[in-house]
A and B are shown apart, each in its own frame.
Chain A
């Protein structure tokens, strides 16, 4: 399957600074406002749209829960805290076609009955703020975003704030630590009000679903993964960038498009994403198999697996919010072990400890960070165990040398 451009269809024709360039834009909004909120939600449910930020929760189901929540005041949050390593699709959408997102936000707010909405923009994307504010002002001038108080809340540099409960704490002016669940945000979220948190790409999918209908949209993709996905390809490729493909496309097709050669492994979905070794690139990219945020990091045969896992866990350890012990201490110990391996100081027990620790973290961590942090460790242990074992035997050998030298 080649690229299938739906979200990015007219992206080159759009001037992000001028709403008039967005021909046919906001047509879906007009259509949605002619439907009842329940009909809009049903259409999104029927389309099979799932969250594009990584977790993949059915979008329409979420909306329905918030709409049906008993409290009157509902809040919509657009998650533009794109911190997942190797992910830059939201930056692309925000910088190239913010109007599409604003249309999606307007439709979503109408459907769930929200009068207040936030865009939580990461601090690293501060250079997008002016453009986004300009787009909002233009949309308001045109009469869109009516009856909606839309506020941009800037982050201040924290990966964990992409996690929805940490994000809400951040908007509330607190440390961005994850919350216990239940209650779920749709019942009691930001300021204890029913809250919907949707990713930039998820909301950008809404207009086309309303415009062309859920039946049309449902023809794209696989049984459980409808529509297209923006993939962010980086690393050892000739043409890094954003590629829009139908869900269910083979990883190999994407690698070919991006010009990847001599690939040893690929990590799909960001720092906590699955590791796919050479020989398994026929796997389809979809919620049934691997997807995550859509980050596709490519590593060629010259790359070292243990170095990669060490850097990845170092990142997760730094970004762990520290609230729950399994994640805070688990990532810490993993970094210690991996650092040992990288520095030629490993011991035979290291692999077993990594495996046991992974099991505990997956079961006992409070949020997605700690629950998924062991994935790159476990995947590489499954596919590249020899790389770890070689490191350990080298370490043992180096130690004997030290002993011999020490004897002189």
Chain B
């Protein structure tokens, strides 16, 4: 029961630093009296939690079937053209990290992506370019 705040603590650590560092994991483990492996295990279970420092903004492009049917693979290509990064990479200026994600529940607006917590749908390469420009 005492551990039930763990997920929220991990999320807090992530929102503070952008990722969950080893030090943060050690600290949470100590606070809750849990093995570090437990905290690490919970952190790495969830796809929105990261143990590596990401860019200032995280782009998550949907790779599930409904987006694929709407030429979803175009999203990764367009972003690679603009930012020069492939999925899993961070741009050299530290602005963006690109990730592939499973269905984000925007299949009526496919192809779709999330940038941080904002949803963008009905995407075209031009739209993607404009959206990325609006981030610092």
Interface residues of A (CB under 8 A from B): 82-88, 90-91, 122-127, 153-159, 170-176, 191, 232-236, 240-242, 267, 271, 295, 297, 299, 303, 308, 311-312, 315, 318-319, 321
CB of B127, distance to nearest CB on chain A (Å): 17
Cβ-closest chain A residue relative to B47? A157
* Stretch among B82-90, B103-111, B128-136 lining the A interface: B103-111
Inside 8 A of A157's CB, which chain B residues have their CB? Answer: 46-49, 101
Inside 8 A of A83's CB, which chain B residues have their CB? Answer: 102-103, 105
Q: Complex: how many Å from CA A173 to CA B41?
A: 11
CB of A230, distance to nearest CB on chain B (Å): 12
CB of B47, distance to nearest CB on chain A (Å): 4
- Taking A88-B108, A232-B108, A297-B66 as contacts, is the C-beta distance between A173 and B3 under 8 angstroms? yes
Q: Complex: how many Å from CA A242 to CA B46?
A: 28
- Taking A155-B46, A156-B49 as contacts, is the C-beta distance between A191 and B4 under 8 angstroms? yes
Interface residues of B (CB under 8 A from A): 1, 3-8, 10-11, 41-42, 45-49, 64-66, 68-69, 101-110, 114, 117-119
CB of A2, distance to nearest CB on chain B (Å): 20
Cβ-closest chain B residue relative to A239? B108
B105 touches A87 (CB 8 A): yes
B6 touches A173 (CB 8 A): yes
- Taking A157-B46, A174-B3, A312-B65 as contacts, is the C-beta distance between A85 and B110 under 8 angstroms? no
B110 touches A158 (CB 8 A): no
Q: Complex: how many Å from CA A85 to CA B106?
A: 10
B48 touches A86 (CB 8 A): no
Q: Complex: how many Å from CA A356 to CA B64?
A: 26
- Taking A173-B4, A173-B5, A236-B69 as contacts, is the C-beta distance between A85 and B117 under 8 angstroms? no
Besides the contacts A88-B106, A153-B8, A240-B109, what 12 more A-B pairs have beta carbons closer than 8 Å? A83-B102, A85-B102, A85-B103, A88-B108, A154-B11, A155-B48, A157-B101, A173-B8, A175-B41, A191-B1, A235-B65, A312-B65
B4 touches A234 (CB 8 A): no
Inside 8 A of B108's CB, which chain A residues have their CB? Answer: 88, 232-234, 240-242
Interface centre among A127, A156, A191, A233 (most CB of B within 10 A): A156
CB of A133, distance to nearest CB on chain B (Å): 14
Inside 8 A of A159's CB, which chain B residues have their CB? Answer: 102-103
Cβ-closest chain A residue relative to B114? A124
Cβ-closest chain B residue relative to A300? B69
Cβ 8 A contact of A123, one of B8, B48, B103: B48
B46 touches A158 (CB 8 A): yes
B107 touches A176 (CB 8 A): no
Inside 8 A of A297's CB, which chain B residues have their CB? Answer: 65-66, 69, 107
Q: Complex: how many Å from CA A153 to CA B11?
A: 11
B102 touches A318 (CB 8 A): yes
CB of B33, distance to nearest CB on chain A (Å): 13
- Taking A82-B105, A155-B46, A315-B102 as contacts, is the C-beta distance between A235 and B3 under 8 angstroms? no
Inside 8 A of A154's CB, which chain B residues have their CB? Answer: 11
A172 touches B64 (CB 8 A): no
Cβ-closest chain A residue relative to B44? A175
Question: What are 19 inter-chain pairs, A to B, with CB distance below 8 A?
Answer: A85-B65, A86-B107, A122-B105, A124-B101, A126-B117, A155-B46, A156-B7, A157-B48, A158-B47, A171-B4, A174-B3, A174-B7, A232-B107, A234-B66, A235-B69, A235-B107, A267-B65, A311-B64, A315-B65
